Amino acid sequence: MIKRPHYDNFELWQRFKKGDQQAFHLIYKLNHKILVNYGSKITQDIELVRDTVQDLFVNLWLRKHNLADTDNIEPYLKTSLRHDLVRKITESRTGVPFDNISELAHQLEKYHFSYIHENEEREEMFIKLEKALLSLPTRVSQALKMRYFDKMGNQEIATKMSINYQSVNNNIHRGVETLRIAMTQ
């Protein structure tokens, strides 16, 4: 294992923030490879990772006077890289720019933690719905299927089922009410 020389991170960061190019170069030298490796764990698109790391350092230099103080440079850079990568990946997939990176990170966290819970709830809901559909009388089930799955109008359903229009309305209403009650239990 290669040992890295010890540098006072706080002092190095302060020198960089004051415009010291040697301090900036040292921060780059010490962290570039680490950031590329870290980014490659987030996405396998190594070109995107390399470009994002370069953009990160360019933006650091441009915003150096406005950056917060830190004595933990590596975690600071990793967090910035992660946010930048997530933003770029999301923008490339959705075409929607995210101007507020912290909002995106918050949304991703909420999505990640709620995803498993939602899937379990959804599975339970589908099981309930399937049981409720199977318990419906045949004519009611047919009318619901034609109305909501086949997207037929009530008059068309009446013609296909050889029943009057009001019977279709009654069957659909009865089916929806039965399903609503079953789903709330």
Tell me which amino acid residue 90 is. Answer: T
Contacts of 155 (CB under 8 A, 6+ apart): 165, 168
pTM beyond 0.95, yes or no: no
Taking the CB of residue 10, how many other CB atoms lie within 10 A of it? 13
pLDDT per residue, tens digit, the chain (185 aa), is: 444 455 688 999 999 999 999 999 999 999 999 999 999 988 888 999 999 999 999 999 999 999 888 888 999 999 999 989 888 887 776 555 555 555 556 666 655 555 556 666 777 787 887 788 888 898 998 898 888 888 889 999 999 999 999 999 999 899 889 888 888 87
pLDDT of residue 2: 47
Confidence at residue 159, expressed as pLDDT on a 0 to 100 scale: 94
Domain final position from 62, 78, 99: 99
Give the chain's radius of gyration (CA, Å). Answer: 29
Among 42, 75, 99, where does a domain finish? 99
Residue 163 and residue 116 share a domain:
yes
Residues 85 and 123 in one domain: no
pLDDT at position 1, please? 45
According to the model, what pLDDT value does residue 18 have? Answer: 94
Closest-CA residue to 77 (of 36, 21, 118): 36
Q: Are residues 118 and 44 in the same domain?
A: no
Find the domain containing 130 and state its range.
109-184
